């Protein structure tokens, strides 16, 4: 238990045992027991890593990414990739995704539960009608009068109201309000995750398709190399082991092709699922990596702003608020409950004469109940509420730490992606230049076709490696937008998540 909660516990215990005037004063003036929720303090650190946040990456592929410290992320941030096809599939997912629809339904349910909770602040009014046929025997009272059978009709309305003297009901509604916030931020987190997943799925599909094409070209090259090498073996100019070596390379590359095709199929099937369709119902949106533009200017939220932008952090904060309010509910249960009720109506043995003046009935009552002994249940319920709050506080802090870790990871990933892409681009350019030279030499009759195929094979392998890092850079850029909260708090995104 935290020191703060221990002080709260000690204060309440002393109030119960040593200060009998306190409940009476609270009864007369009204109060709200339990701690008032205070929003956790925002982090004061300036950056996300100990060594400082880099402001620019290398200009890999002709594009250097600049991180605008303190910048605001737009709601439709994926439009920075400048692809109409990508924008279309994201909007289709937002409209049709079933997980998002379920989260929205949970939000509406919590809103309805909250509205129901507000009813506790109003008098409860009921009306009832009771027709009774009964036998009355005066013999019970020593009378010799003959027993009689008669009808009795009663209609009455009752008004009851519970005085929330110690704020237990108010804290209960406060907890419901926080529960609504939890569902609200859960829906936003689902929205954020959905946009990131659908974009990454499209990027992955484009990368797998490009790798499949490059791998198929590599297979064709190796088949031609094998054909020529077999002829050379038959002519006795090269050993047979050269054929075996090429066939081994071919088998390894051929084995990678079905795996790539399987990954492409899975990406297409996941795309269908994210837009609320079965694979048979959905025509995958496919594009080439060259059709995407890597965002060059990326807003980088300040650490103090991140805790107000990440839905998972805000959801954890709302859970902390709910558990704080439940401490007040448990504390109020240690104190008296006071309720008032009144009823007014009519009864008569004749239904036709039910509303005559001399048949009216009324009653007024008050109820005061002070818990005395419950076997420690109420006290331990409050202790459990305090421990639950401590648990939620630790969970909140861990969520914040994990969020900062995610931002730091993606920033470093983009920095390293640019470095790797620069190296892979140099390798690709070198192999492309070598391919141009070997083709020119072949046309001049200076080299044989087998040498051309060998250089072409190296070029295709360099191309595959470059495609992989290019796709990774795109996906890590998406990851940074998601890690920063995805711009949901700007108006268009909020409207979509409601």
Q: How many helices (H) and strands (E) does the chain have?
A: 11, 6
Kind and range of the H or E element at 45? Answer: none
SS3 of 287, please? coil
Q: How confident is the model over 256-314, as pLDDT tens digits? A: 999 999 999 999 999 999 999 999 999 999 899 999 999 999 999 999 999 999 999 99
Domains of the chain, start order: 3-122+164-335+376-497 (1.20.1600.10)
Identify the weakest region by mean pLDDT among 19-23, 130-134, 268-272, 294-298.
19-23
Q: In 10 A of CB 473, how many CB atoms?
A: 24
Q: Provide the 3-class DSSP secondary structure of residue 152.
A: strand
Residue 10: the pLDDT is 36
> pTM of the predicted model, to two decimals?
0.84
- What would the mean pLDDT of 429-452 be, rounded to a whole number? 89
Residue 461 pLDDT > 70: yes
| Distance in angstroms (rounded) separating the CA atoms of residues 330 and 327 | 5
Could you give the CA distance from residue 179 to residue 264 in angstroms, rounded to a whole number?
40
Confidence of residue 17 (pLDDT cuts 50, 70, 90): very low
CA atoms 174, 176, 179, 183: torsion sign: negative
Task: Give the rounded percent of residues in the chain with a pLDDT score beyond 90.
Answer: 68
């Amino acid at each position: 238990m935290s020191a703060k909660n221990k002080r709260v516990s000690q204060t309440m215990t002393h109030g119960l045992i040593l200060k009998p005037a306190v409940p009476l004063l609270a009864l007369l003036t009204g109060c709200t027991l339990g701690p008032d929720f205070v929003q956790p303090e925002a982090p004061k650190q300036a950056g996300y890593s100990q060594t400082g946040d880099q402001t620019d990456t290398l200009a890999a592929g002709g594009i250097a990414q600049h991180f605008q410290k303190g910048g605001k992320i737009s709601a439709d941030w994926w439009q920075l990739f400048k692809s109409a096809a990508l924008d279309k599939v994201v909007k289709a997912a937002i409209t049709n995704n079933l997980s998002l629809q379920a989260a929205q339904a949970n939000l509406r349910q919590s809103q309805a539960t909250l509205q129901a909770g507000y009813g506790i602040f109003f008098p409860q009014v009921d009306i009832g009608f009771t027709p009774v046929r009964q036998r009355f025997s005066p013999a019970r009272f020593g009378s010799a009068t003959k027993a009689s059978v008669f009808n009795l009709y009663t209609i009455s309305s009752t008004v009851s109201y519970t005085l929330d003297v110690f704020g237990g009901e108010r804290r209960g509604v406060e907890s419901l309000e926080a529960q609504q916030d939890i569902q609200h931020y859960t829906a936003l987190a689902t929205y954020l995750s959905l946009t990131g997943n659908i974009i990454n799925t499209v990027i992955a599909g484009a990368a797998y398709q490009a790798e499949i094409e490059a791998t198929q070209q590599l297979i064709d090259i190796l088949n031609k190399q094998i054909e020529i090498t077999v002829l050379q073996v038959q002519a006795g100019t090269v050993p047979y082991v050269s054929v075996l070596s090429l066939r081994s390379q071919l088998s390894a590359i051929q084995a990678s092709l079905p795996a790539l095709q399987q990954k492409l199929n899975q990406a297409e099937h996941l795309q269908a699922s994210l837009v609320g369709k079965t694979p048979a119902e959905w025509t995958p949106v496919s594009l080439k990596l060259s059709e995407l533009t890597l965002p060059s200017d990326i807003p980088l939220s300040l650490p103090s702003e991140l805790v107000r932008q990440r839905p998972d952090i805000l959801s954890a904060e709302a859970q902390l608020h709910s558990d704080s309010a439940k401490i007040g509910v448990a504390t109020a249960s240690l104190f008296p409950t006071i309720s008032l009720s009144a009823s007014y109506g009519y009864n008569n043995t004749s239904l036709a004469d039910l509303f005559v003046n001399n048949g009216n009935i009324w009653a007024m009552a008050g109820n005061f109940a002070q818990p005395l002994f419950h076997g420690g249940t109420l006290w331990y319920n409050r202790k459990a509420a305090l421990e639950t709050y401590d648990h939620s506080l630790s969970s909140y802090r861990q969520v914040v730490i994990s969020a900062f870790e995610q931002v730091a990871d993606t920033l470093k990933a983009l920095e390293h992606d640019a470095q790797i892409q620069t190296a892979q681009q140099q390798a690709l350019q070198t192999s492309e230049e070598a391919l141009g030279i070997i083709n020119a030499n072949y046309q001049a009759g200076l080299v044989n076709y087998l040498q051309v195929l060998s250089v072409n094979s190296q070029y295709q392998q360099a191309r595959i490696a470059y495609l992989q890092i290019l796709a990774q850079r795109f996906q890590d850029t998406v990851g940074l937008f998601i890690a920063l909260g995805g711009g949901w708090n700007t108006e268009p995104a909020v409207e979509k998540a409601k």
